[in-house]
Each structure stands twice: as structure tokens, then as C-alpha cells.
A and B are shown apart, each in its own frame.
Chain A
Amino acid sequence: MSNTITIDGQTIPFQEGQTIMDAALAAGVYIPHLCHNPEFTPHGSCKLCTVTVNGRNVASCTMPAVEGQQIANNTDELNAKRRALTQMLFVEGNHFCPFCEKSGNCNLQAVAYHLDMMSPHYNHFYPAREVDASHPDILLDRNRCILCELCVRASRDVDGKEVFGLSGRGIDCKLVVNSSSGDLVDTDLAATDKAASVCPTGAIIVKRHGFSVPIGQRIFDHKDISQVQLEAAQKERGHE
């Protein structure tokens, strides 16, 4: 068996056990994604990575690559859907890019730029979300949380701590922390933990760094997110 799939007409090899996302990243093909991070078990919640496989929409970060799949990825139709999903993420939370310290380093903002999102389009929910600043070194600002569970996975799988979890359903779903007080300060989270640096938005940040990186030197100041994430994937493979 040759083990190849086709994405937008391009033939791409894959290895047994790889998802479509894995194979695409390895071949230098960008599929927009937010809750996926190659370092962690796929989660499949944001649906930004949706592609069309043999006529059906699926999340490419969880869908195994199977010989002969005909996949549509970078099409106007799919990108319009991704844009709408991103717009919904913006209005569901409180994302104020102009004065957010993550600006220029934020995957949510960068993916919005990549998808040519010009405005949030939908009405803002302006939800009341809690800020937990109790930890001496780490700030948890739920206003910016997109519920991707990367911190949950990082804490559980890498740090071995299970500091974070999601609770509640639908619009009431929120990020909770594992302490009797419910405060971050009473968990065993440390600033050096993977979970403290994995957040794709500015929801979990190490305190007091703020705007110390000048405009022009931030991750996405000169590079599109597709380039940044493909380069990261390449580097990751180099380490393997």
C-alpha cells in the first residue's frame, strides 16, 4: 500500500496512525487549527480544522488518514466556515486585542488574520467571566478562554498535576481549577509548568511580562500563523 492521501489535489504521504492533520503538517500543508497542538493528544473541539473528506466534513486533527482520501482544505467555502467559527469565538468571550498583552503572540488573533476576519460580525455576548489573579506568578483571565483544553491536557499529560478542567455545559461551560477554594493559588501549578505556557490565547499568562516584547518582535508581527506553525512542526520533527 502506498499510504497517500490527496489534499486540494496534492498527493501527500502518511504513516500508519497519523491523522490528516499530522500528515498535512509533516508535508508542509497548513490546515487552520486552534485546539490542536502536535505535542498533545488531539481533542477535536474547536472544529477550525474541518476539512471535507470524500464529501463529508470532519475534524482533521482527530480523523485518521486513510489511503486514498480525497480531501478539500483550502477552499473558499471551508475558509468561510472557519471564519464564522472564529468570529463566534470572539463574541463568546471578551477579547480586546487592542490592549491585550497577548496581542501579536496570540493564536486566536493570528488565525483571525489568516482567515481575513475583518470584524466580529455577530453581536458580542460580553459575558461576565472571572479573573483569577490569586496565584503569585500566573494570571488566569477567563475572559480570553476559548475552552480548547490545551492547559487541561498539558497539566495532566506533561506536568502530571491535573490542575485544570472544564465544568458546565454549553454557554455555561467554564475552566475550573483543582483546589478546594477554587482559586489558582491553592493548586500546585508552577510558572515553569507546561500548562502555564501552552494557552493559545491570553487566558493563562505568566504575570508581569505584559508588553515587554516590543511591536515588531512578536511572533506574528512578520509571519502568518501558517508559516509559524509549519515551521514549528518541522522543528518538532527534527527533534524526533
Chain B
Amino acid sequence: MTFALETAEHPEKLKRVVIEPVSRVEGHGKVTLLLDENNRVHQARFHIVEFRGFEKFIQGRPYWEVPVMVQRLCGICPVSHHLAASKALDMIVGATLTPTAEKLRRLMHYGQILQSHALHFFHLASPDLLFGFGSDVATRNIVGVAAAFPEIAKKGVLLRKYGQEIIRMTAGKRVHGTGAIPGGVNKNLSLAERDTLLADIEQMIAWSRDAVELIKKVYSDRPDFHNGFGYYRSSFMSLVRGDGALDLYHGGLRARDEHGQTIFDHVDYSHYWDYIHEEVRPWSYMKFPFIRSRGREEGWYRVGPLARVNNCDFIPTPLAEAERIAFKEFGGGSATQATLAYHWTRMIEMLHAAESIRELLHDGDLQGDDLVSKGERQLRGVGVIEAPRGTLIHHYRIDENEQIVRANLIVSTTHNNHAMNEAVRQVALQYLDGKVLTEGLLNHIEVAIRAFDPCLSCATHALGKMPLEVELLDAEGAVIDQIAKNTSGQFCI
């Protein structure tokens, strides 16, 4: 099967452009473009090298170690892995969580959403959005934002810090804690901890509202540009609550096609493989999941904030719900498929997380003592959670000695693999095709990738600091000309 620009017919004579960020343990990614002499784009690909050794490494380990161990998978959202694994193990120990345990886990999760969304929006995306995608690379970063818009930068830092404090209180540490255990949690929230969080929650909600206003304003100042940037239509997949509400911690799987028609709904995720398959393509290490009933060609989809806000019937907290409605109504629904609308919906979710935290802090169950439950042991467990970047699936099988025999993880970045490639291809066609490449133009590609917030170092290093090279190859594939951008962002031809 072929997608336009996925594979060039005659790659031999084309120039190869590589955008290659620094690698990290959780995997690394790069973009390659093939251009002809007239700079027409013939091929555009986003490659991700996933860290898959983990599924092997974990074999033979006792199941109760897993929720702590899996946090090492990702330096950016360890809590999501911690919770998805814990949910899978709830199934293995046959537990139905006590209200206290479930609410504490939710609190931890909303703290994670808050800190991750704040980091992503303020630190990674705001420089592009506030200064322009092709603006001066020297100031297009968080330091530049702090200088030009100190108030905005400050809110970003403090929102993130608040989320991290919630994680510390519920998991014991800001990173790599131990709060969730199979069947429940290992501690509750003390009254002192609750009061510390309550003291600042109104401020966090107010700042989250400001953040929604900010992205709304930036977006609607140039609606056509923002709507059209890397535009394409796709299906969406996410968890939804039984009544159709947005639920980031638990629910059934819902998928809707590019016209909003339901593909499946309220699917019990413990049988996800009946609905989703993973395809291997020769040019990428990362698999390409697709919705089975739609087939390989049509079955790809998007996950993450845009998918969730589009898919849910409503958001169960009032301020975020009002923002969801405003988003849906914007331009008669013009933004609901837009790549850059990820940022908008991300901020709506951050507001929802802040509101949900307030609700939970007023719930006495957080001080309960009934922390763990268990039932009849199972040999298989699946845990699914809506991580900041999208649906995260953890699947384990144990033997009768309680050792892991098999693990399968589908992370949000994998779900979005095809979608991110699609965005890269669209942007390459829209902005790069036929042009002499500059750093500013290449940054447009990075902007499209960053909209998804992939679990990669490129998300954190892509602040105009990606080392990058453009090569002109002859028919034999030998380099006959090249230009490069060094790590300090200078683009020298």
C-alpha cells in the first residue's frame, strides 16, 4: 500500500534532508526529505527508533515490580506508564479498586496531565506560536518567551511545578515514585498535603483558563493559517466514560472516522487486539497500528488531546466543557481536524485537569484508609489510560509463578505514527515544495511534529537546536553537495 510522498519512485537523484535530534533512552526520531534539483519534495518520512528492549528485559520479573520498573521507559511521562501498568495488574490480582484508591490514582494522573501539558505548551510550543514558525531562531525558545512575555513563562513554570507536587505527594517522589501498586495505592493524601494543594488550586485554574484564552487568541488571529497548517482529516481514537464523557483515567475505547461516524464505541479495552492491529513497514522501526475493521489503508487514526476532545460527548467539569463547546463552534467546526488544534485542545484538557483536581481535593475519600483490594488472580492483564500524549496500552501475561512471560506496550507515539508522518508530508508539500530550504522553513516540519508532543527527545530538543543536514546525491547515491545546520541553530550553506 502507498501513501502520497511516503515513498519516492526514483530516490537515486534526490537530495536528502535529515532533521535528526539528539537521542535519548526512550528512543529517537528523525525526519528525512528527498528533494530534486528544483527542490520539489518527492518523499517525506518521520522515523522513530523505539526502545523495545524493555519488553524483553521485563520477562521473568515478578509482576508487582512492573509499575515501578516501567517508569524507566520514559523520562517525560513516567506516571502514565506507572498507572497503565498498575491498571493491568489490578486485573491480574482480580481487584476492583476502592474509592480511595481510584481517586488517589486519578489525582496523581491529573497532576501528571497538568505538568506535562504545561511543559509541552509553554516550554516547547509557545515559542513557535508567539514568535512565528520562521522567526529568529536565536529567540525562538523558552528563554526568548521569558524575556518577551515574562508573565506567560512564569505561569508555565508554576503550573508545571504544581502538577509535580501532586505527583510527589501521591507517589512519594516527583519522578519515579511508587504510589500505585497492584490493586490500589500505598498511601493516601494527608490533610496537611491536601491543604497545601488547596491553597493554590484556584490560582492554577485561573492560569489554565488564561492558557486556553491565549491559544484561542493566537489561533483565531490567523484562523486560516492555523487551520490549514498540515491539514488532513483522520479518524480519532480515545477512551470515553460510560456516559460518553471525557475521561482520562478509565473508560471504553471509542473510534470515530473522519466524518464523525462511529467505528466502535465503549469497547472493553481488555480485548483491544480485536480492534487494533499493528503493521510493520520496511522503512521504519516503529509499528503502524490501524483499526482492523477499516483495514491497513484506511485504518490509521490519531490519539491525544484533539482525539479526546473531539470524541467525547461532553467534559464533566464546567469551565472546560464551555471551552470544548467554543472549540467545536469555532469557524463552524473548522478546527476539529486541524493539526495545530492539538495545542488548543491540550489547554482545554489542562483546564479540565485543574478543575478535576479541585473536585478531588474536596473529597474526603482521599483521606481514606482502605487502600488495596484483591480478588481472584488472573494470568493476563490489560491496562489502558489516556496519557498526556494519547491512549497508552499495557498488556501483560504472567505464569503460575507470578513471573512476567510476555508484555506488549502500545504507546501514544506509536498510535500517532502514521498521523505524524501525514502531518510531515502535508507541511512539506505546503511550505517546502519548490523552495530553497532555510532553517525557518524546516522548523515548520518540527512545528507539525511538536503538535503531537511525541514521547521523544525531539520534543524537548527541537527548539531550533536540531542538528540538521541537507545532502544532494548523485545517481549513485554519492553526496555531491551538502548544507548543514549546527547544534547552536546556525544554518550555513
Contact = CB atoms under 8 A, between A and B. Distances in A.
Interface in A27-52: none
A212 B62 contact: no
A133 B63 CA distance: 11
A194 to B, nearest CB: 22
B176 interface: yes
B177 interface: yes
Contacts of B186: 211-214
B72 A139 contact: no
By size class, the interface of chain A is 10 to 19
Interface in A91-148: 98-101, 131, 133-134, 139
A210 B65 contact: yes
B181 interface: yes
Nearest to A209: B64
A217 B181 CA distance: 16
A214 B190 CA distance: 13
A207 B62 contact: yes
Interface in B35-78: 60-62, 64-65, 67-69, 71-72
Nearest to B68: A99
B172 A133 contact: no
Interface in A53-108: 98-101
A134 B181 contact: no
Contact of A215 (B67, B173, B182): B173
Contact of A211 (B60, B68, B401, B402): B68
A215 B64 contact: no
Contacts of A235: none
B60 A131 contact: yes
A210 B181 contact: yes
A212 B372 contact: yes
B177 to A, nearest CB: 6
B239 to A, nearest CB: 26
A99 B182 contact: no
A212 B401 contact: no
B467 interface: no
Given A211-B181, A215-B177, A133 B403 contact: yes
B140 interface: no
Given A99-B69, A99-B72, A210 B172 contact: no
Interface in B142-187: 171-173, 176-179, 181-182, 186-187
B68 A133 contact: no
**SS of A interface (majority):** loop
- The CB with the most chain B CB atoms within 10 A, among A100, A139, A212, is that of A212
Nearest to A215: B172
A208 interface: yes
Interface in A181-236: 207-217
Contacts of B173: 215
Contacts of A212: 181, 186, 372
Nearest to A141: B62
Contacts of A139: 62
Contacts of B69: 99
By size class, the interface of chain B is 20 to 34
Nearest to B176: A98
Contacts of B177: 215
Given A131-B403, A133-B403, A215-B173, A210 B64 contact: yes
Contacts of A209: 64
Contact of B178 (A133, A134, A208, A214): A214
B181 A133 contact: no
Interface in B177-211: 177-179, 181-182, 186-187
- The CB with the most chain B CB atoms within 10 A, among A101, A208, A209, is that of A208
Interface string B378-411: 0000000000000000000000011100000000
B170 to A, nearest CB: 10
Contacts of B181: 210-212
Contacts of B172: 214-216
Contacts of B401: 133-134
Contact of A98 (B72, B171, B179): B72
A130 B160 CA distance: 42
Contact of B65 (A99, A213, A217): A99
B95 to A, nearest CB: 12
Contacts of A216: 172, 187
A211 B176 contact: no
A118 to B, nearest CB: 18
A101 B402 contact: no
B326 to A, nearest CB: 41
B64 A208 contact: yes
Nearest to B60: A131
A51 B60 CA distance: 41
Contacts of A134: 401
A143 to B, nearest CB: 10
B346 to A, nearest CB: 30
B60 A215 contact: no
A214 B184 CA distance: 12
A211 B179 CA distance: 8
A185 B403 CA distance: 15
Contacts of A98: 68, 72, 176
Nearest to B374: A208
Contacts of B61: 131
A184 B178 CA distance: 29
A99 B173 CA distance: 13
A133 B59 CA distance: 13
Contacts of B178: 211, 214-215
A215 B173 CA distance: 8
Given A208-B182, A212-B181, 16 more contacts: A99-B68, A99-B72, A131-B60, A133-B401, A133-B403, A134-B401, A139-B62, A207-B62, A207-B402, A210-B62, A210-B181, A211-B178, A214-B178, A214-B179, A215-B171, A215-B173
The 9 A-B pairs with the shortest beta carbon distances in the complex, nearest first, are: A215-B172, A210-B64, A133-B401, A214-B187, A99-B69, A211-B178, A214-B186, A99-B68, A133-B403
Interface of A: 98-101, 131, 133-134, 139, 207-217
11 contacts: A98-B68, A131-B60, A207-B64, A208-B64, A210-B182, A211-B178, A212-B181, A212-B186, A214-B172, A215-B171, A215-B173
Interface of B: 60-62, 64-65, 67-69, 71-72, 171-173, 176-179, 181-182, 186-187, 372, 401-403
